[in-house]
Structure 1
Amino acid sequence: ALTAVTSRQEAGKPIEEVFPRFRGAAKIAELRFIEPDIDRIVDTGAQCVFLALPHGVAAEFAGPLVVRGLRVIDLSADFRLNDPAVYEEFYGGAHPCPELMREAVYGLPEFRAEEIRQARIVASPGCYPTSILLPLLPLLSRGLIAPSSIAVSSVSGASGAGKKADATLLFAEVNESVRAYGAPKHRHLSEIEQELSLAAGEGVIISFVPHLMPVTAGIASTTFCLPKGALSELSSAVSEAYAEAYSGSHFVRVLGEGRFPDTKHVVGTNHIDIGWAVDHRAGRLILFSAEDNLGKGASSQAIQSFNLMFDLPETEGLLNY
């Protein structure tokens, strides 16, 4: 059961006032926000805490909560990286709790399910990384593509920037406009390259350019890479790799060659759709994916990890939310 929700800004208000969609929801609607105080959280009897805090702040809560015996699912970037030096490079400051970085499990359930089940701290992946890693990891681990050839272009809805007041995110600025940002060194590159390097067994550096598009939610990523083998055999090899990786997956939907994912069909779900095309003229493999940046790219993927941690069905609460 949900035992507490915290917010400095909304403390004292019932959930249904801040999020009207929960009006009438049993045991939830009247629950009131409390200040994010560790002692108060522990006193609620909670077994697990979801942290949706800025990087640097989340780690300050995670350490004491784990010491007090609670498990943590962190939706910030604080525990996604293994190397404190890489964290400092990409996030502009020393990690507040480096001793816990190695313990944390990168929460990509399709590849780390058993580790997630045992974890005290799960680092839920970023939205862009999820959309990029799930198409690439099965191919890299099989040696089907050249790691040094990877380039990604992604587009995301405006909700990916959060709720903070920002003139560049005003309706009049976002509407009827698409623009790149964060290139050439977006923060999410750090975790993307870490996980790709682990899969490839060698250091991987990629090019990545994100774009803001005038919709509320959704991410579509297009990945370009060079195959290692013959183009004539590539499509069947890709199909086999995805079948092996995702045939038992509840949430990864492999559409097949020549099928192009659409954000319209994944927003509001925990699904990610994947397709691909072999460009015989250019000698490249092109991968396509679509997900909800707030769902599979954030909150619902965190719930997927929670279900694994507490021996619940992996789909619990995720099929009709």
Structure 2
Amino acid sequence: MIFSLQACSSQSESAAKNWSTECVGRMQFQLPGYVYPAATFNSKVSSFRLGSAIEKPTFPDGTPAHLANSYLVSHPLTADEKKRFIEFALAEGTEVTGTSPSGEKVFRFRRGFTESRTSDGGVIRRYPGSIWGTIFVGDNLIRFGPSIEVAERLLKAVPRPVFDVPKVPGLCMPYVFVPDDGMPKRNLSMSYRLKDHPDIQVTLTDASAFKPEQLLSMGGMSDAEVKLRNKNAEPESEIAGFWHLALNEARKYESLWLLPTTTKPVTLAGYEGRQSFVRLTMDDGSQSYGYYAVVRGNPKAAEDVPDIRLHVLQDVRLAQGRTPLNQDQFIEMAQAIAKSVQRRPTVAQ
């Protein structure tokens, strides 16, 4: 099945009317057909115990989602899986991971915490200056720590099915929604795999505008480095850097827009940026298409002007027997998605 691209033409003011609206952070956009969201760990209990392994987002079938970046939220779990995850979380409080040079036992969690349980079995450990938690939000599990501010927000999270777009201030994350007053900073990248075209992943990033100068307060950057980071954060530079990094997995990439430049203007959520369209040739000779649009935010603005990025990446090796979109179909779809990106309307409670 190939979804209709009729409404993706240049005459269209938005994405196809039969597309569904999804939200990421404080943004929303439209996607064609049903999609599978990426989350930071799946139902395999082993992934819970491997430390950094749970931080590698995947889709429900285990396919990597390399561009996704969110809090640690699981895919939906069964009752038995929930029970096993919590058993591991409880054991962490007493698990010995080694010994110190002086011969003392080293625990997975340092001593001195107060442990409590939520009504549905979650585990929360409170220290004087931090909170660690493994809690359930519906059928999904969230891991967090050590920030008290983040923990207090995530403890208010509620279930959010895909394509459920709340009308109140807060952050949309995979499977959950975290209500807030619209002020907390964020840096969220959520990825989706198209059901009808499993070779295509769509990733939208909504992040508070990054200001390199803020790092100077930690004494880690010179003025010259700040200047360089600001230059590299501009859309043209970021786009070029992104496709250059793509060569880690591709034999070559070539822009399909050549004159007068390899990028074109784009508007995401009302903010001006740049967009790019390339063809990637993999080591096995297969060719796929990629689209990347970037808006740089303004950290000095009185109101929130965020960093926004939209990736639409194809990998025909993952097509699972489906007919991949051709060049014209791909760019029409990608630009229709871009046109649909906007700030999520909200009504203060």
Settle same-fold status: TM greater than 0.5.
no
Structure 2 length-normalised TM: 0.26
The higher relative CO (CA closer than 8 Å, separation ≥ 6) is in 2
Which one has a larger percent strand, Structure 1 or Structure 2?
A: 2
Structure 1 length-normalised TM: 0.28
Which one has a larger percent helix, Structure 1 or Structure 2?
A: 1
